Structure 1
Amino acid sequence: MRDDTERTPGPGRARRADAERTVRAILAAAERVLSQEPGATMERIAAEAGVARTTVHRRFATREDLVSSLTVLAAQQLEAAVLAGRPESAPPLVALHEVTANVLRIKRTWSFAMGVHSEHPEVMRVHTDTRARCVALFRRARDAGAVRSDVDPDWASRVYYGLIQAAAEDLAEEPTPAELDAAAARVVDTLFTGVGAGGGTPHRSG
């Protein structure tokens, strides 16, 4: 006799799945609303999510709890985007381009949450791990000869972060894949070739 226990979700599992979908819908609605109206109420967020205000309050006791959960979700999306670029295994410049495009997408999709300073342990872990992966990627690029041997990978990663932020600010709210690819290429090109007309260091006068 065939045992379908593992194939047929039980009532408890189905309820958990429904609850998770509801939470994700609320958080996605919160991002949409708060990115346009940072002071929006829980009631406004509930309306955007298509649920009752009481449903939002059952999942999040306060507005602060909701925003905290939103920052955690955004951080986890950021980590997944970085890992999808294969920073530890793809050729360094290929990985850098892919990671850049992926991160730009997350920064636009979760613009409100990414702009919130959070000390939530999970958010802090993600940002610490992401910075470490970025530094390691620039170290790989240096070892592969794509970056000068005298370049500090930590300094390069900080410059890179600044370029990504500037590029994200120039993107449309919902950039197309082609726009993300072009923005990523611009970041990488600026990082590796700069904006000067020549390859040398300009001389100071006087």
Structure 2
Amino acid sequence: MANSIPLWVSSQYNRNVSLAPESNTRSRTRRAILDAAVSLLSKDATASLSDIAAEAGVGRTTVHRYFPERADLLKAISTDALEQIETMSTRARLDEGPAIDGLRRLCQEYFELGEVLNLLFNNPQLITNEEWTNPTEADHALDDLVKRGLADGEFADHVTPQWAVHVLWSLLYAGWSHVEQDGVSKHEALTRTIATLTNALKR
């Protein structure tokens, strides 16, 4: 069977197979660096690239190979956060079921981004680029959710999409701070965040 494959196809196949592990390794290394950077910088904005490299279990030169400058690393964190927000918005299935249930699912998904979003909120210069100022699919999905909840009578009349967004992110920040500063469990903080959010918006 293999002998019937044209030589150029076989060569390309072997090349792709040999490159796949390297590509996967690069992806894992990049992920490890980003996660380590978020973990350290969310607690200490002055953490050095050497500190981040040690936390990620790689050498400083490896960090520089992926992110030549500190600014490149910070931009990558910002972009990665947006991508995760989009993924979690999709996973929350905002167009399914009652709007209030969709909002609860979204809150639960976003709560997992505590460290990275805490970092970005405490360093607003990281979320002033065009990626953050332009509406995303996640923004549109949340806007549609609130409008549907208003039309169906689930949300109070005073609620607007803009107000719902402010309330959501403010309460998420409060929930994350509750974990970091007060030492409560993530589950407990999330339960309080969701309860306060729904009580603030529902009719």
The equivalent position to 1:152 in structure 2, one of 149, 153, 160, is 160
Report deviation, 1:190: 2.9
CA distance in 2: counterparts of 1:174 and 1:164, whole angstroms:
14
Report deviation, 1:46: 0.5
Residue 44 (structure 1) aligns with: 51
Partner AA of 1:118 in structure 2? I
CA distance in 2: counterparts of 1:174 and 1:43, whole angstroms:
31
Matched, 1:67 2:77: no
Report deviation, 1:101: 1.6
8 Å CA contact 2:156–2:201 kept in 1: the answer is no
Per-residue CA deviations over 1:25-56 (Å, capped at 9, x if unaligned) read: 01111111111211111111101111111000
Partner AA of 2:174 in structure 1? A
Report deviation, 1:150: 6.1
Residue 171 of structure 1: SS of its match in structure 2? helix
User: Can you give the 5+ residue segments of structure 1 that lack an aligned partner in the other structure?
Assistant: 194-206
CA distance in 2: counterparts of 1:147 and 1:104, whole angstroms:
22
Residue 146 (structure 2) aligns with: 138
Identity of matched residues, %: 26
User: TM-score scaled by structure 1?
Assistant: 0.78
8 Å CA contact 1:72–1:120 kept in 2: the answer is no
Residue 51 of structure 1: SS of its match in structure 2? coil
Per-residue CA deviations over 1:52-107 (Å, capped at 9, x if unaligned) read: 11000011010110111011112211222222111122321110111112112212
Change (3 A) 1:156 1:48: closer
CA distance in 2: counterparts of 1:148 and 1:176, whole angstroms:
28
Partner AA of 1:77 in structure 2? Q
Partner AA of 1:190 in structure 2? A
Change (3 A) 1:131 1:175: farther
Report deviation, 1:174: 8.7
Residue 185 of structure 1: SS of its match in structure 2? helix
Change (3 A) 1:191 1:49: same
Residue 80 (structure 1) aligns with: 87
Change (3 A) 1:109 1:90: farther
User: TM-score scaled by structure 2?
Assistant: 0.79
Residue 108 of structure 2: SS of its match in structure 1? helix
8 Å CA contact 1:167–1:183 kept in 2: the answer is yes
8 Å CA contact 2:107–2:168 kept in 1: the answer is no
93-102 vs 79-88, which deviates more? 79-88
Report deviation, 1:124: 4.3
Report deviation, 1:176: 3.6
> How many residue pairs are counted as aligned between the two chains?
191
Partner AA of 2:83 in structure 1? Q
CA distance in 2: counterparts of 1:114 and 1:150, whole angstroms:
27
Residue 190 (structure 1) aligns with: 200
